[in-house]
Structures are given as C-alpha cells and as structure tokens.
Amino acid sequence: MGALSRRSEMVRPCPAFSAGQKAKQVPAYSAGRKAREAPAVSAGEAQLVGISPAITAIRAEIETVAGSGASVLITGPSGSGKDVVARLLHQRSPRAAAAFVALNCAAVPAELLESELFGHEQGAFTGAVKARAGRFEAAHGGTLFLDEVGDMPAAMQAKLLRALETRVVERVGGMLPVAVDVRVVAATSVDLEAAIAAGRFRADLFYRLDVIHIAMPPLASRPEDVPLLVEHFLARSGCGLRFTAAAMDELAGWPWPGNVRELRNLVERAAVHHRGETLGPEALPRLLRAPLRSKAPPAVPSGFSPREAAAQALAPVPLLGPNGVDLKQLLSDLERAYIREALALSGGTIARSARLLGLQRTTLIEKMRRLDMEPRAA
C-alpha cells in the first residue's frame, strides 16, 4: 500500500456525514446541550428587506451564487445586515438542509479560538474535561459563517488558511485529521486591503476568502428602504404600532451610524415605551440615540470642506479693517458653504441635510430659498 493510501486511511470522515447520506447536524450540538457548547444555528427564513438599487442587486447576486460552493466574503459597516446575507446564501443553496454554523471571531478570546474552530480532545488543556467538536465539524455538509474574520489573530489566520486549502482539521490535542465538507462564508467590517498593507491580515487568506465579494451598503445610503424596514420590524414585534408618514420621513433622513441594527433597536424601544396606536415625529427625539462623535472627522467624499470654504470666505476679509466688513454677506457665504457640504454628504436629501446641520427640514428649505439655493430633493 502506497504512502497516499496510508494517509487516506488516517484521515477520518466527520461523523455527521458520509457518502450516500444527507448532511445532518453533528450530534455534539443537538438540543439539550448547554448554550456555550452549541454553535449558532439558523432558525427561520432570513429576509433582506429593501427596494433600493443596492439591495435589489445584492438579492440578485445571492440567487446567482447561492448554488456555488465557492467562498464568499461579505463586507460592510457594522449592523448593515451581513449576517442576513450569509443566512440567505445558505438557505438558497443545496446545503440548506444541513447546518448553518456561525462564529463571531471577534467575540472569542484568542486562546480559545482554535478550540472553537477545530474542536479539542479530552485533556487537551485545563478545563477540557471531555472531547468536543469544533465549528468546522458542526458545519459538515453545510455552511460555516465566520463573522468579523478581519479581527482574527495572525496565528489563527494561518491555521484557518490551511483548513480551507486541505478541507481537513485537527482537534486541539488530537493526532488524527478530520475531513470536513463545508462552504465558508466570511464577513468583516474591517478594510482588509488596508489591514494587509499594515501587516495585520494575510493576503493569501484574503484571496482564499474573496472568491465572491458582496458589499453591504450603509443604511444612510438607502433611505428608501427605511420605511420598509420599520414595517418589517413592527410586524415581527406584533405590537400593532404604526408610524406616521411624517415620522417615516424623519427616520429616512437620520444618518443611522448603527445601520439596520440601530433602526431595529429604535422600533423595539418604540414597541415597549410608546403609548398609543400611532407614532408621530414628535415622539422620535426620545427614541433616537444621538450619533456618537468620532475621534476624527469623517472624510468628505465631495472634496469640499465647509471649514475650507468658510476659511476662503473669511481669508480675504480682515477681522475689522478700516473699511469694516460686510457681515451679512460673510454670514450668508458661511451658511451657503455648510449647506452645500451637507447636501453633498446626504446625496441631496433635504431631511438628512437638515439633520446634519441641526435644523428643522422646513427651516433648511427656507434658508436655501433665501440664499438662492432652490431645493431639488425632498
């Protein structure tokens, strides 16, 4: 018998799946196990809510690639719905009858991540009182979702790459390799290309994961989806509450730094605290959370900084020279500069621009007309 044949005998198949059988969940994660031992397994149908061009395109891409076994990398800001896309990819795939197993790589201590992914044998380390299958084995025949993969420690990146390339894992403290059949879907809010340049993420692992790339947009870039999401979360809550059209308009203009997660939390707060069958815009201030201030100002995509514009307006004018200043014109130029920048940041949406400037929507419209800046978007 050749060396290759002997090697094949040493690799044991995952006990949850064998030739001629349908994939099934690993017994180690069956009902009755403690929550800390059980991987996150999908329950119910995932829904990607929205009619915006970005969401429509992503929905079409999911239908196109779900049947493939290729790895998928989902990028986008935190709370934008990357996990929903991962679940849909699984539910629309030939692997849908098998397990969907999720692991948040940022939530597991670095010293435990290897055991979580690959499992461990009894006595492998202090506290390992019995053998335990890892997430790869639990997802055998199904889908393994690695959330926040960009936060994975460098040492684990190499081990993950090896498992992806060989389709074989070894439990911590074990000697016998275990063959696994999984589709890997990864997600991150980290700019992986920047992380590669900084030496924090392996380029070879990136290319292994980034076979198919799906980019989730921030909620603020698709305001037309906000009312649909509100209705979706209200229906799930079963509270019978209804948001008025004016309230929906205000919500569509909110910057949503926490994205869909923030909107879902707002609806849940409203369902708990609001009294009455309808909720108008007057109730929103106590429900909305003020956006957190970042340590550095956000980059301005238009290349037009309001402070730069203000500086240009002020630079040629002495503070109070012998000829004085046209204060009215100076203030008008300053207002015009900030309004233009707010419009650029909000894609021309008046409600969002008003939020950025701390104004009521009607006040902003009045100012724009006074400054000969005719509003073009509601």
Task: Output phi, psi for 169, to 5 deg.
Answer: -125, 160
DSSP-derived pairing of the beta strands 72-75 and 183-188: parallel
At residue 268, the pLDDT reads 94
First CA to last CA distance, the chain: 76
Whole-number Å distance between alpha carbons of 242 and 166? 53
Q: Tell me the one-letter amino acid at 104.
A: N
How much is the pTM? 0.67
Rg, the chain, Cα only: 26
| Burial status of residue 12 (CB atoms within 10 A of its CB: 0-12, 13-18, 19 or more) | exposed
Report DSSP letters for 281-295, one per residue: GGGSTTTSPPPPPPS
At residue 321, the pLDDT reads 53
Averaged pLDDT in 10-residue chunks for the chain of 378 residues: 41 43 31 32 72 96 96 96 97 96 93 87 68 90 97 94 94 85 97 95 97 96 96 92 95 94 95 91 84 44 45 46 66 82 78 82 82 67
Other beta carbons within 10 angstroms of residue 66's beta carbon come to 18
At residue 87, the pLDDT reads 97
Vertex 169 angle, CA 164 and 175, to 5°: 150
Q: Tell me the one-letter amino acid at 176.
A: L
At residue 285, the pLDDT reads 87
At residue 21, the pLDDT reads 36
Q: Among residues 20, 62, 44, which one has the least CA distance to residue 100?
A: 44
Domains of the chain: 7-21+36-215 (3.40.50.300), 219-283 (1.10.8.60), 306-370 (1.10.10.60)
Q: Do residues 45 and 92 lie in contact, with contact meaning Cβ atoms separated by under 8 Å?
A: no
